[in-house]
A and B are shown apart, each in its own frame.
Chain A
Amino acid sequence: MRVLTPETLDDAVAMLANEAATPIAGGTDLLVHWPQRLADHDRTYLDLSRLGSLRAHAWSDDRLTLGALTSYWDIVTDPRAQAELPMLVAAARTVGAIQIQTRGTWAGNIVNASPAADGVPALMALDAEVVLASAAGEERVRLDGFYRGYKQMARRPDQLVTAIDVPLEPRSFQSFVKVGSRRAQAITKIGLAITRPADGWRVVANSMAPTVRRCPSVEALLDAETPTTSPGGFAEAIRADVSPIDDIRSTAAYRERVMARALFYELAPVCPWIGGGSSA
């Protein structure tokens, strides 16, 4: 194993232009069961931990900018985040426990590209944009267009995620739902991040498809205020939007059923056109 230890962002992108290396920040995904993963010991890593300028997050009039090294805990402990983007704090508090939240980064959650990522759906439902830097320059990609397939994303190997921009705009609804085996230290079986900015609903699901993804059919039902009297009213749209599987954590049938129920019971209190019927 070899470790590259850039001291500046310029050095970091120059190193990535020069050779293949896996960026490492908090290590909470890369080091899981590390002693058994000998093949991964034979790689080159780019240590980001010395790039102090990537740690801070910053608020401006129209956006929150997360640095590449901003951790979940950095956001959990920021009262402004709790006030303005409560869903982001809610999502962060469901990631592992404090020992993970202090180390895990939002950017790492994005590029690890797990379908079960909990930070990604919250960011995606907030219309976040990923900032990628390379020796060739900077590029911005909307997070809802970032994933191309299972673990496939719009990041070239020579690019480094340097920031994540979250637009600040009026949202009449923000909600994060995580269904796991238990409240803490669980990996998501069914996850939802739902927001309502001025131009229409955002519904993002995790652990329901090969990538975290938006659910355009569900969003269309909500935008049209389609009367929905039971959770089953979402079933067809859910089947159009996601493709859950049977795996060690759950089954496709359970995931579809619970996603419908989560949508129904989260939204019924705020959407007059949802509810009123029997529960299914």
Chain B
Amino acid sequence: MPPRSEPMRITFTLNGAEETVEIDPAERLLDTLRYRAGLTGTKEGCGEGECGACTVYLDGLPANSCLVPTFQVAGRAVETVESIDPTELGSLHRCGATQCGACTPGVVMSAAWIMRHDGVLETHSIRELMAGNLCRCTGYDGIIDGVREAVERGAR
């Protein structure tokens, strides 16, 4: 007989504020964010950790929220695209980095993470760091240019 599912009560930090949710043990963080917390900026693309549309920060590191079981975020910090200052990444518009918009929340999360951790550029190219965000509209050069401009402006 399959094990019985009992709801779990989870408390974590969501965009800087404490959040308590009652969840199904089989729930993904992506679904908790969208359907319990109402934060629909995080998108589901592939559901297999390839496209990066569901990128969030888990304890400050980028992660695909489609592959995170919500029970694992108990006591930890989650940040979503709603926490990003929209003026921070205007360069993505100027460089033609967005078209249909499905990948954009994930692109923004990866881009903002690179801006805030630009020491990583000593070992990694922007292109390698953005490789976890698939875009099927614009091609990647606009995205790379937009991230580079944002990083350079941030450094000034």
Contact = CB atoms under 8 A, between A and B. Distances in A.
Q: Do A and B bind each other?
A: yes
Most buried by A among B55, B58, B61: B61
Interface string B95-135: 00000000000000010000000001001000011011110
Given A34-B66, A99-B49, A102-B62, A42 B132 contact: no
Interface in A22-57: 24, 26-28, 31-35, 41-45, 47, 49
A135 to B, nearest CB: 21
A98 B67 contact: no
Given A1-B26, A32-B48, A99-B52, A93 B128 contact: yes
B87 interface: no
Contacts of B131: 97-98, 183-185
A109 to B, nearest CB: 14
B28 interface: yes
Q: How large is the interface on B (under 10, 10 to 19, 20 to 34, 35 or more residues)?
A: 35 or more
Nearest to A37: B26
B93 to A, nearest CB: 24
A3 interface: yes
B26 A185 contact: no
* Interface of chain A, main secondary structure: loop
B47 A99 contact: no
A41 to B, nearest CB: 5
Interface stretch (B2-10, B14-22, B35-43, B148-156): B2-10
A47 B48 contact: no
B134 A103 contact: no
Nearest to B62: A99
B47 A35 contact: yes
B61 A31 contact: no
Contacts of A102: 58, 61-63
Contacts of A24: 69, 72
Contact of B66 (A31, A41, A76, A97): A31
Contact of B67 (A27, A43, A76): A27
A77 B26 CA distance: 32
Interface of A: 1-3, 5, 24, 26-28, 31-35, 41-45, 47, 49, 73, 76-77, 82, 93, 96-100, 102-103, 183-185
11 contacts: A1-B26, A3-B69, A27-B67, A35-B28, A49-B72, A76-B123, A93-B128, A98-B129, A98-B132, A100-B67, A183-B131
